[in-house]
Structure 1
Amino acid sequence: MSVSRQKKVYLPTATRKNQYITIGFPLTDEYLSAYSNLDACYDEFSKLVYQLAEKQELYNVHVVTTDKLPMVRFHSEAYCLNSDEQLRFFYNPAHHEANRLHSVAGFRARKLRIVFLATGNDLRSNSAAFHSHVQKFIAELKPLLPVKDVPIKVRDHQHISYDFFAKAKGLKETYGYKLRAVDSRYHRRHCELPENVSTLNYVTINIPVERRIKRQLLANNATDFSSLYQNVCDKFIQATKSKQLNRVAVVANGKLPLVRNSKYEQLTSTNEFQMIGFDPHSESPEPICHWDANKLVDAFRFVIVAGKSDETDEGYGRFMNQVEEALRLFTNEFDIDKEHIDVILRFHQHISYKA
C-alpha cells in the first residue's frame, strides 16, 4: 500500500502541548553526611532549588524525593496524584505556577530529582529557551552542592496529544506541524547539547474498551482473553506494517507502557509500568506484545516508535501521517463510537544526556 510523502501533519487546533525536564543525581552517603538529618537535606536542597530557579525564570518547579516517576498531563486545574510508582502532574502551562517538595517522612530516596514544568504559551516555539534556562540552572547548582562532580542526568520530555476522532466530534479546524527533531530545533535556536545525546521519538495510542467493542469482540461469560488480545495484536501489526511502521508494541495487561532506548537503558518492568525497549537504529525489530489473558483491560495501549530512517530534515510530519493512516485502517476494524469516545494519540519527543 502507498505510504504518505506529506511533510506536514495536520492536527486539530485543540491539540495539547506539554514539556517538562527532569534532572537527578544519586543521594549517596557522602552527600547526606553534609546535613544534620534526612529532613534537613530535603528542606535545604529544595530551598536552594527554588532560589536558583527563580533567577532563571523557572516558575513551576518540584523537588521529588519519593523515587516515583513523574508523569505530566494537561489539565485546566492544577493538582498532583500519587500512586505507588507514579507522581502525576496535571496543569495548564499558561496559568499554573508552583514550588513544591514531594517527600515522605523518613523515606530515603535513591535519587534527588527536580522536575521543571514548562510555563507560558507556545511551548514548542519556546522549548529551546526553556531548556537553556535549565542548563544555566544546573551550571549554578553544581558548585553549590556539598559533593563535587555529581553525575547529573537530564531528561527533556515533550509531547503533543489530541483525540484521533476530533473531526467526528465536529472539531474540523487543523494546524500543520512539521514536528522537527528536538536536537535540530535546539541547534537552530542556539541551545547547544552535548555530543552524546540519546533521542527517542514515538507515538502512544489509547483505545478504551467500551461497550460496543466488548459486544463486537467478546463472547458471553469469557474468562480467557487470549484470543481477543491475539486478534487485536494481529490487526494492529498488519495495519502498521502496511504503512512501513515496524517498531510497534501492544500492551493489554493493565500496565502503562514506558518506552526507552534499549541501546542505552536497562529495562525492568514493574507493577505499574510495562517497559518497552527499542533501538531506533534497528531496522526490523520484532513486534512486542504484552497481555494478561486472565484480565479484561479498560484500554488497549499501543506504541509506534520512529527509527532513524523516519527522521527527515523537515521533521517527523511524514512519520505521523503514516501513523494516522495505519491507525485509520486499524480502527475501521472495530465498532468505536467516534462521536463520543476519545482515542488519544500522543507524539512524544525525548532527549537525555549527562550534564
Structure 2
Amino acid sequence: MASQNQHRVYIPTNARANQYILAEFKPDDDFYACFSDYRSAYQRVARQLFALCDDAELYNVHMLVNDKLPIVRFHEEAYCLETQRQQLFFYNPRYHEAHQLHGCCESRARKVRLLFLATGEDIRAHSADFHRRVAKVLSALQEQLPGDANKLKVRDHQHLTYDLFARAKGHKESYGYKLRALAPRYEARGCPLPSHRDLTYARFTLPLTRQLKTQLLDASATDYGNFYSHIEDAFISACEAKRLPRRAMVANGRTPLIRHRDIDTSAHNEELEKLSFEPGKGETQSHVLFDAANLVQSIDFVIVAGVEDHHDMGYGRFMNQVESVIKALCNSLQVNPERQDINTRFYQHLSYSL
C-alpha cells in the first residue's frame, strides 16, 4: 500500500483539466497555385475542416492563418485575444463552442494552424476518444488538401491546473491521481499512436507580491540581480534535494514554452521563451533567465520529467517531488498559503507527423 501511495498525487477536486490538439502545415507555392487568391484558399480549407468537424462532433475548432502561436487557458467566459506573437483562447470546456477562421485572409501565411479544443465533461477521461476523432478529421482533411508538401505536424497538449494551497484556503476535498503516460492510456482505450515524441513537465507561477518584495528588496533598489539570485538559489536547492535535474526559472516577462530537444531548439522573441530539454539524458539541464534591471510581476518555474520518472503506474511520484519543491521554495520565501495562490500545472505533450 505504501508503495502504491507514493505513486499517487492528491490534487484538489476543483482542479481544471484541459486538452487541445494543434495541427499545422506549411502551405507551399503549389498549394497557393491551386487558388485564385489567399482568401479563397483559406476559406476553402476552413469550409472543409468545419464540415468534417461537424460530422466528428468537434464543436470548438479554430483555423489560424496569422502566424501567431495559440495559447489556451481556462476561463468562465470565452475570450480570444491577440498580441503580436500570440493568439490567446480562454474558454470553459463545458459550455463554449466555436468554428472560426482567424487572421488576415489577404496575406500569405507561413503556417496554417488548426486548433481543436476539447469540450464536455471529464476531459481527461475522454482524452483518447477526442484524440481519435481529431486524428480522423486530420487524415480526411489531408486527403483534400492540394499540393504534395502538406505534411501535418500534430501536437496533443493536456494539463491539470490547481492551486497547491487549496486545502489551506478551505477546500479539503482531493482526488488521488496516478497520472499515467499518454501512450499507454490511449492504447488501453483503443487509440494506438504512431511513432511520436512525448514530454511531461510541471510549471508553477510565483507572483511577486508586495509582501515578498518588502521582505527581500530595499525600497530604493534599481538592480534586482541579487533578488532574483536569492530566489534562484532557493529553487535550485529544492530541486537538487529531490534529484530533479531538468528545470528552468523564467523571470524576464516572457511566456515559457517547453519543447523536446529532438524537435526544437531553445529560442526566444519579445513575448515567448522556448526552452528545449532532453528527457533521456540524466545530466543537469538548467535554464535561469532574468533581467536584473527589470522587476517582473511573477516568476515562472518549470521542472521536466526524465525517463527515470516514467513509471508503469504513472507520474504521481514525480508530481509529489515537484510539490515538495514548491512547498520548500514557498517556505523559504515565507509565502502565506492562506493568502497566496500558487498555480501549478501538470503538462503532458506528445507530437508526431501525420
| TM-score (normalizing by structure 2) | 0.97
Partner of 2:163: 163
Alignment of 1:18-37 (within 5 A): 18-37=18-37
- Which stretch shows the higher mean deviation, 241-250 or 259-268? 259-268
Moved over 6 A (4+): none
Alignment of 1:49-64 (within 5 A): 49-64=49-64
- Asked if 1:46 corresponds to 2:34, the answer is no
Q: Following the alignment from structure 1 to structure 2, what is the Cα–Cα distance between the partners of residues 17 and 320?
A: 16
Partner of 2:353: 354
Alignment of 1:254-333 (within 5 A): 254-333=253-332
Identity %: 44
- Asked if 1:242 corresponds to 2:241, the answer is yes
Letter of the structure 2 residue corresponding to residue 83 of structure 1: T
Q: Following the alignment from structure 2 to structure 1, what is the Cα–Cα distance between the partners of residues 194 and 228?
A: 42
Q: Following the alignment from structure 1 to structure 2, what is the Cα–Cα distance between the partners of residues 166 and 232?
A: 23
Instruction: For residues 269-313 of structure 1, give each alpha carbon's deviation from its aligned partner in whole angstroms, at most 9, with x where no partner exists.
Output: 111111211100111224210110110010011000000000100
The gaps in structure 2 that reach 5 residues or longer are: none
Q: Following the alignment from structure 1 to structure 2, what is the Cα–Cα distance between the partners of residues 326 and 156?
A: 27
Q: Following the alignment from structure 1 to structure 2, what is the Cα–Cα distance between the partners of residues 238 and 222?
A: 26
Give the superposition deviation at 1:243: 1.0
Give the superposition deviation at 1:4: 11
Give the superposition deviation at 1:264: 2.2
Matched residue SS, 2:162: strand
Q: Following the alignment from structure 1 to structure 2, what is the Cα–Cα distance between the partners of residues 17 and 287?
A: 28
1:17 touches 1:124 (CA, 8 Å); kept in 2?
Answer: yes
Q: Following the alignment from structure 2 to structure 1, what is the Cα–Cα distance between the partners of residues 224 and 234?
A: 16
The gaps in structure 1 that reach 5 residues or longer are: none
Partner of 2:251: 252
1:212 touches 1:335 (CA, 8 Å); kept in 2?
Answer: no
Alignment of 1:39-188 (within 5 A): 39-148=39-148, 150-188=150-188
Count of residues in Structure 1 that have an aligned counterpart in Structure 2: 352
1:168 touches 1:338 (CA, 8 Å); kept in 2?
Answer: yes
Alignment of 1:162-241 (within 5 A): 162-195=162-195, 197-241=196-240
Give the superposition deviation at 1:252: 0.7
- Which stretch shows the higher mean deviation, 38-47 or 16-25? 38-47
Letter of the structure 2 residue corresponding to residue 265 of structure 1: D
Q: Following the alignment from structure 2 to structure 1, what is the Cα–Cα distance between the partners of residues 248 and 140?
A: 41
Matched residue SS, 1:215: helix
Letter of the structure 1 residue corresponding to residue 190 of structure 2: H
Matched residue SS, 1:230: helix
2:153 touches 2:353 (CA, 8 Å); kept in 1?
Answer: yes
Q: Following the alignment from structure 2 to structure 1, what is the Cα–Cα distance between the partners of residues 93 and 213?
A: 37
Letter of the structure 2 residue corresponding to residue 202 of structure 1: Y
Q: Following the alignment from structure 1 to structure 2, what is the Cα–Cα distance between the partners of residues 228 and 107?
A: 45
1:76 touches 1:92 (CA, 8 Å); kept in 2?
Answer: yes
Matched residue SS, 2:161: strand
Matched residue SS, 2:11: strand
Matched residue SS, 2:227: helix
- CA 1:288–1:149 in 2, change beyond 3 Å: closer, same or farther? closer
Letter of the structure 2 residue corresponding to residue 275 of structure 1: K
Matched residue SS, 1:301: strand
Q: Following the alignment from structure 1 to structure 2, what is the Cα–Cα distance between the partners of residues 304 and 5?
A: 22
RMSD of aligned residue pairs (Cα, Å): 1.4
Give the superposition deviation at 1:105: 4.6
Matched residue SS, 1:332: helix
Q: Following the alignment from structure 2 to structure 1, what is the Cα–Cα distance between the partners of residues 158 and 293?
A: 35
- CA 1:103–1:238 in 2, change beyond 3 Å: closer, same or farther? same
